[in-house]
Amino acid sequence: MSILETRNVTKTFGGLTAVDDVSVQIPEGSIYSIIGPNGAGKTTLFNCITGFYPSDQGDILFQDKSLIGYSPDRVTKQGISRTYQNIRLFPAMTALENILVGAHPRLKSSWLDAILHTPRQRAEEKKALEKAQELLNFVGLKGKGDLLARNLPYGEQRRLEMARALANEPKIILLDEPTAGMNPNESRAMMRFIENLRDELGITILLIEHDMKVVMGISEFIYVLDFGQLIAKGPPEEIQKNPQVIESYLGRGAV
């Protein structure tokens, strides 16, 4: 059964059709990838799913419920987290605070609780802080919780962004180029980390990726986008041999 599904989603900007009639189905507990050349519409599809862009046509279903018309914050509350291609942390907040912001949808205390400093609010804060600390340790940033996010090295910022996404206790997480800018060793570590997310926490994973080693090594199933259109889908072995995919990546006549 699919946890996330897009049905004929189309998004145009002026005359440009960034996403053209794309349907994908992501089964629960799987690791799926979306690949394609630059400007193929991969990130736009992510933005449509997370409610950042309203899609012009089609339907987006999460656990068989339509997400059409949902604002980004409501989409996130359903249990969909994401990370960004170019890391977008809250730079002047500490690492721990970044994670706590990620936990926002899972906390309940209101402004009145905060002003009155109710026992309920205090208990919730304490628990949230403990959980954030756990997540910090989970991504290997133990002891760095009080550093500003912007002062962390690149790789740690990536992992912090991941921890922030996890704090939302998501059912599915959308990763936009999680290994961008990493060397082969770091990429391999990231792959293991992503597999861990699925195996230990049971989170479904949908990722956009350019690094073919990562894509082929980790994905169970791959969707290929080009000029906004779905040109191929299938398991990694099949995609590797697909002439249309090779053409779109390497140019006409390469086959």
Partner 1 sequence: MKENIKQASRNGALVGVILGFVILFGLTTTLSEILGDLFRLNSNSRTGNTGGLMLIFAIIALWAGSKAAAFDKSSWKTTLISGLMSGLALSVIISALTLLIGTLDAADVEMRDYLVQLNRQAIQFLLYGRSLWVGTLITFGILLVFSIGGGLLAFFLEDRKVGDLVYEKSLSLRDKVLEFTIIKSYQENPRSKWIGYGILLGIVFLFPLFLGRYWNYIMGTIGIYVLMGLGLNIVVGLAGLLDLGYVAFFAIGAYTAGLLTAPAPIPIQIGFWPVLILSIVLAAFAGILLGIPVLRMRGDYLAIVTLGFGEIIRVLIRSDMMTPYLGGPQGVRDIAGPSLFGLALDSERAYLYLIIFGILLTILFTNYLQNSRVGRAWMAMREDETVAQAMGINTLYYKLLAFATGAAFAGLGGALFAARNQYTGPADHTLMVSINVLCLLIVGGMGSVPGVIVGAFVLKGLPEILRELELYRLLVFGGLLVVMMIIRPEGIWPAPRRMMELHEDEGGGLTQAASLVGDEG
Please report, as residue ranges, which positions from 176 to 215 form the binding site for partner 1 (by CB under 8 A): none
The secondary structure of residue 15, as a DSSP letter, is T
Phi-psi region of 169 (alpha: psi -120 to 50; beta: other; left: phi over 0): left
DSSP line for 162-180: HHHHHTT--SEEEEESTTT
Task: Output 76 or 187, the one with its CB closest to partner 1.
Answer: 76
- 131 binding partner 1? (CB under 8 A): no
- 127 binding partner 1? (CB under 8 A): no
| Site mask for partner 1 (CB under 8 A), range 14-33, x = bound | --------------------
Which member of 54, 57, 117, 127 binds partner 1 (CB under 8 A)? 117
- 168 binding partner 1? (CB under 8 A): yes
- 147 binding partner 1? (CB under 8 A): yes
Stretch of residues binding partner 1 (CB under 8 A), selected from 99-107, 195-203, 214-222, 224-232: 99-107
Phi-psi region of 133 (alpha: psi -120 to 50; beta: other; left: phi over 0): alpha
Give the integer Cα–Cα distance in Å for 219 and 206.
9
Please report, as residue ranges, which positions from 38 to 77 form the binding site for partner 1 (by CB under 8 A): 50, 52, 71-73, 76-77
Give the integer Cα–Cα distance in Å for 225 and 142.
38
Provide, rounded to whole angstroms, the least separation between the CB of residue 11 and partner 1: 17
Which member of 65, 92, 237, 255 binds partner 1 (CB under 8 A)? 92
Residues facing 175 on adjacent strands: 207
Which member of 129, 180, 231, 246 binds partner 1 (CB under 8 A)? 129
CA dihedral (154, 155, 157, 161) positive or negative: positive
